[in-house]
Chain A
């Protein structure tokens, strides 16, 4: 009890100082700008960057990563920032009070309903994060296991002994954040918090984007809440995936670039760099987003801030800012790509492609550039994407799910506002007035990138990396409705307000139930002791095919290690062949040790999945004091024939020769 209280205090102190020092740093970098939302975005981005740099420095450079070193280094960095920026004070409370007064000055009942729904939704999301365990298959397969390994080993080895190949090529920035939110309590209750924080940051990001283009506060707020309520955002806010970080970070980066185009202050580029750095640390697909952003930015820079090309002083300032930006990007995400270069000899590591998540084998793959060019040369994907566009955007073919299987998660708000905004955004390329708006950078990048990705990216989950599209276009709709004087008409205001409230209510209602779980057991789960509230007990993916194993593992002491089979070969139809997809960290505190057994070394298996053990298996089990063996690759289990291995429940064997 006392330990928990102490951990809570340390958590609040360290994180409070991270946010406070980031706010101060944001105030310093935005000292000529009075926008509260912009400052909040900057503080959020800098906070994530702070956390990332602390964990990477300790895990990779110092190789001393634990519950003591993390808060200590963070406190030191926070103190240093506060000392350096001590004169740049910008009171948050006063600014917030003023913004609040301006937003709620009129008696707008729609606004009250929207605020009420937002409040309830945030409470629900917090409950889901804290009380319900992590879910989603690939979270357990490769998003979280590296954090467990880092915790157990006390540092971040460049290559993990993993059964899931893609871990070793992936940038794991979001896993770094998950580690941060685990280490204070040594409990997984907050590991989904980073994605929720990214979702919450989307609020100020959207407001800042719309305010930058002149939309009044109250409308900015309404459209920002509407964007927050995108099904894709609500669903992914309670996961340990990385797509929200990628997409919100992308829009934040574009926002600072747009602000730079407007104000011409090179230090704004540092904030864009921090946002892009975080993005690069989250997803191997991030470079194409950033390349597109920089391409459009360069063109607009030429037209809007030509002095940076013609005036030597300006040029020097731009070069200095660019160099500093490169350092920031390197600090925040450079490690993942340097590691890939050093270990695999290429930037995208063990990945088969820079863009896809398919994880093809390294040996059959050409270089990244060749791959991209060959994909662009093939218009087949584009045609497939076009055919699928309507069903995906209207979400009707499949149920809502955070993995966006066969849907976009764009919700009714995109149908109502986004599609029409898309037409205007395309028209804006040919309209001088629209091109001059700050939001043009965002809308044009969003449209061009969406089209570009249609050439290179199609799979059943492909809309996960495309959530920037509705976020930008709904904001764009808000800005254009205002500037076209639509919102001056009372009946249009009424329709707009109703669409916003209906869309928000739809998302709230249809996404309220945690349908990714075993719902008849929700009451049981909620009433269990904290120690038993684990994914193994509850998440539908696990309990559906192998309920006995996972529910049994919960009562097996966490000090008992477990070995599990691992091999790229598929032994039954429907099985994921490329990796051994399974999750074996059943305890909340990540204490159980797991050992992957490369199949051919330890077993002789027939094609039907019937296996005999080799003598080396028993030696391995004895040497590592392992008595438990899972024969299941993904959720299909091999049949093991050995007198010393008792099958306790399907797929779980007990080794009798352990003592």
Chain B
């Protein structure tokens, strides 16, 4: 009887301890389902084939490079070709084409004799002679150099007399792919985070001039309100898009603000007050209020 009781207690304790383990670790099963959702959302690598007069001479799978052109629209890829194939392709460039995802793309020359180029709507593919490095580095450096600015002047020459800076925005980021490893930034375009609740744009103007400023931003809050104040004409238009943009792990709402500014020569300030902001995103960048994707400037006179 006593031995029977011991057996019962031991077996019960064993089951209980295992149940406790499962109960306390049930979140691991949720992670598992998230993992499978991520995996099934992924796509296989694009195939690239180099054809010369209809003949396949080279093929390779392309992974996302995550290196973008200055507009943040096309990813830049580099393929190193064996010297003999590169020479042949260059010599027969009129009959050469690159097949990317069943799409036939013509090749063109570049400023460098060791590089050819094919451009699609979302890709720029450089074919390089084996070992070519300097041109590759130059291309990336050039694009990055020009990608650093998100202030767009619609009126020609306007940007020569105006510069905008801020102590309340972070570094230029993005664009980020839908498959970015950090869910919170998947699908985000090029832009800068601006901190809340208050931020200031410091606008340097070489002369007195009236300009129309368009601020494109993404907000995490559908009912975000932005008040603008400064040496400015009153807010003219608030154009809120009601359709939320699902940017991966972060749901963002695009909003466009258009204001008239009457800029004076020298320093001008545009004060912004956000109604909502989130907690710190990372060290050094606190209270994220909105992600500015572009600031457009247009002569208002």
Name the A residues within 8 Å of B180 (CB-CB): 520, 547
**Contacts A521-B42, A548-B67 supplied; 14 other A-B pairs, CB < 8 Å:** A394-B25, A411-B21, A416-B21, A419-B17, A486-B10, A499-B15, A525-B63, A527-B44, A527-B61, A528-B45, A532-B61, A543-B181, A547-B181, A555-B77
Shortest A624–chain B CB gap in Å is 15
Chain-B contact segment, one of A174-182, A502-510, A580-588? A502-510
Query: Is there a chain B Cβ closer than 8 Å to A515's Cβ?
Result: yes
Q: Does B64 contact A (CB under 8 A)?
A: yes
- Using Cβ atoms and an 8 Å threshold, which residues of chain B touch A659? 134
The answer to whether B14 and A495 touch across the interface, beta carbons within 8 angstroms, is yes
User: Is B1 in the interface zone, CB < 8 Å from A?
Assistant: no
Could you tell me the distance between the alpha carbons of A146 and B58 in the complex, rounded to whole angstroms? 36
Chain B residues with CB under 8 Å of A627's CB are 133-134, 137
Minimum C-beta distance from A476 to chain B (A): 14
Q: Is A616 an interface residue (CB 8 A)?
A: no
Chain B residues whose CB sits within 8 angstroms of the CB of A491 once the complex forms: 11
**Contacts known (A396-B25, A528-B61, A540-B181); A556 close to B45, Cβ less than 8 A:** no
Q: Are A515 and B31 in contact (CB under 8 A)?
A: yes
CA distance A555 to B140 in the complex (A): 13
Whether B38 lies near A520 (C-beta < 8 A) is yes
Q: Are A503 and B39 within 8 A (Cβ)?
A: no
Complex Cα gap A400–B66 (Å): 29
Cβ-defined contact, A523 with B61, below 8 A: no
Complex contacts, A395 vs chain B, CB 8 Å: 21, 24-25
Report the 3 A-B pairs with minimum CB-CB distance, sorted nearest first. Answer: A519-B38, A520-B179, A396-B24
* A557: B residues at CB distance < 8 A: 80, 130-131, 133
Q: How far is the CA of A149 from the CA of B31 in the complex (A)?
A: 38
Of the 9-residue stretches A77-85, A238-246, A645-653, which lies at the interface with chain B?
Answer: A645-653
Q: Mark B10-28, 1 if CB is under 8 A from A, else 0.
A: 1101110110111011001
Judge whether A524 and B63 touch: CB under 8 Å. Answer: yes
Nearest residue (CB) in A for B25 is A396
CA of A555 to CA of B264 in the docked complex: distance in angstroms? 50
Q: Are A648 and B141 in contact (CB under 8 A)?
A: yes
- Interface membership of B32, Cβ < 8 A: yes
Query: Does A379 make an interface contact (CB < 8 A)?
Result: no
Q: Collect the chain B residues with CB atoms within 8 Å of residue A503's CB.
A: 18
Min C-beta distance of B227 to chain A, whole Å = 35
Q: Is the CB of B45 within 8 A of A509?
A: no
Once bound together, how far apart are the Cα atoms of A417 and B18, in whole Å? 9
Interface centre among B11, B22, B79, B130 (most CB of A within 10 A): B11
Rounded to whole Å, the gap between the CB of A198 and the closest CB of chain B is: 25
B237 within 8 A of A: no
Query: Does A559 sit within 8 A of B, measured CB to CB?
Result: yes
Closest to A542 in B: B181
Residue B283 lies at the interface, judged by CB distance under 8 Å to chain A? yes
Choose one: B32, B78, B133; the contact of A513 (CB below 8 Å).
Answer: B32
Q: Are A417 and B45 in contact (CB under 8 A)?
A: no
A552 touches B181 (CB 8 A): no
Inter-subunit contact A513/B137 (CB<8 Å): no
Q: Is the CB of A648 within 8 A of B10?
A: no
Of the residues A519, A551, A556, contact of B35 by C-beta under 8 Å: A519
Binary interface profile of B, 224-267, with partner A (CB < 8 Å = 1, else 0)? 00000000000000000000000000000000000000000000
Min Cβ gap A397→B in Å is 9
Residue of A nearest to B44 (CB): A527
Q: Which range contains the number of B residues in contact with the other chain? A: 35 or more
Name which residue of chain B comes closest to A524, CB basis.
Answer: B45
**Residues 509-541 of A at the B interface (beta carbon under 8 Å):** 509-510, 512-513, 515, 518-529, 532, 537, 540
- The reply on A342 being an interface residue by CB < 8 A is no
Number of interface residues of A (CB under 8 A): 62
Q: Could you tell me the distance in whole angstroms from the C-beta of B211 to the nearest C-beta in chain A?
A: 33
Q: Are B137 and A646 in contact (CB under 8 A)?
A: yes
Return the contact of A654 from the options B11, B36, B61, B141 (Cβ within 8 A).
B141
Contact of A506 among B15, B22, B67, B141 (CB under 8 A): B22
Q: List 17 A-B contacts (CB under 8 A).
A: A394-B20, A399-B31, A412-B22, A416-B17, A489-B7, A495-B14, A499-B18, A503-B18, A510-B28, A518-B179, A518-B181, A519-B42, A529-B60, A556-B133, A557-B80, A559-B131, A573-B283
Q: Complex: how many Å from CA A521 to CA B130?
A: 27
Interface membership of A292, Cβ < 8 A: no
Task: Name A547-584 residues within 8 Å CB distance of B.
Answer: 547-548, 551-552, 554-557, 559-560, 573-574
- A103–B17 Cα gap in the complex (Å)? 29
Nearest-Cβ distance from residue A133 to partner chain B, whole angstroms: 13
Contact A647 B35 (CB under 8 A): no
What is the distance, in angstroms, from B114's C-beta to the closest C-beta of chain A? Answer: 13
Given the interface pairs A495-B11, A520-B41, the reply to whether A394 lies near B21 with Cβ below 8 Å is yes
Q: Which residues of chain A are within 8 angstroms of B66 by Cβ–Cβ distance? A: 547-548, 551
Chain A residues within an 8 Å CB radius of B39: 513, 519-520, 522-523
Given known A-B contacts A400-B28, A412-B22, A522-B42, A532 and B133 have beta carbons under 8 A apart: no
Give the residue name and chain of the B residue nearest to A556 (CB): B133
Tell me which of B17, B28, B44, B283 contacts A574 (CB under 8 A).
B283
Q: Is the CB of B21 within 8 A of A417?
A: no
Q: Is B65 an interface residue (CB 8 A)?
A: yes
Partner of A648, one of B79, B131, B137, B186: B137
A492 close to chain B: CB less than 8 A? yes
B121 contacts the other chain (Cβ, under 8 Å)?
Answer: no
Interface residue? A483 (CB, 8 A): no
CA distance A223 to B11 in the complex (A): 16
- Within A619-659, the residues touching B (CB, 8 Å) are 627, 646-649, 654, 659
Q: Are B140 and A552 in contact (CB under 8 A)?
A: yes
Which residue of chain A has the shortest Cβ distance to B38 in the bound complex? A519
Q: Is the Cβ of B133 less than 8 Å from the Cβ of A551?
A: no
Contacts A415-B21, A557-B131, A573-B283; A420 near B13 (Cβ below 8 A): yes
Q: Is A544 an interface residue (CB 8 A)?
A: yes
Does the CB pair A492–B11 fall under 8 Å?
yes
CA distance A560 to B66 in the complex (A): 21
A551 in contact with B65 given A399-B31, A515-B31 (CB within 8 Å): yes
Q: Which residue of A lies closest to B4 (CB)?
A: A489
Contact A560 B133 (CB under 8 A): yes
Is the C-beta of B29 less than 8 angstroms from some C-beta in chain A? yes
User: Which residues of A sit under 8 angstroms from B14, Cβ to Cβ?
Assistant: 416-417, 420, 495, 499
Distance of A520 from chain B, by nearest CB (Å):
4
Decide: A648 and B181 in contact? CB cutoff 8 A. no
Residue of B nearest to A519 (CB): B38
Name which residue of chain B comes closest to A477, CB basis. B14
Q: Which residues of A contact B17 (CB under 8 A)?
A: 415-416, 419-420
When the two chains form their complex, are residues B18 and A515 in contact, meaning their CB atoms are under 8 A apart? no
Partner of B67, one of A515, A524, A551: A551
A521 pairs with B35, CB closer than 8 A: no
Give bound CA distance, A600 to B200, whole Å: 40
Q: Are A492 and B7 in contact (CB under 8 A)?
A: yes
A415 to B140, CA, bound (A): 54
B301 on interface, CB distance cutoff 8 Å: no
Question: Does the CB pair B67–A523 fall under 8 Å?
Answer: no
Is B182 interfacial (CB 8 A cutoff)?
yes
Contacts of A649 in B (CB 8 A): 67, 140, 144
How far is A421 from B126 in the complex, measured between Cα atoms in Å? Answer: 64
Partner of A529, one of B38, B61, B181: B61
Min CB gap B27→A, angstroms = 8
Least CB distance from A573 to B in Å reads: 7
Query: Does B101 touch A at the CB level, under 8 Å?
Result: no
B7-A495 in contact (CB<8A): no
Q: Is the CB of B63 within 8 A of A528?
A: yes
Which B168-188 residues have a C-beta within 8 angstroms of A? 178-182, 186
What is the CB-to-nearest-CB distance from A610 to chain B, in angstroms, rounded to a whole number?
A: 15
Contact call B43/A524, Cβ cutoff below 8 A:
yes
List the B side residues contacting A522 at CB < 8 Å.
38-39, 42
- Tell me the complex Cα distance, A524–B39, Å: 10
Q: How far is the CB of B63 from chain A (nearest CB, A)?
A: 6
Contact A412 B32 (CB under 8 A): no
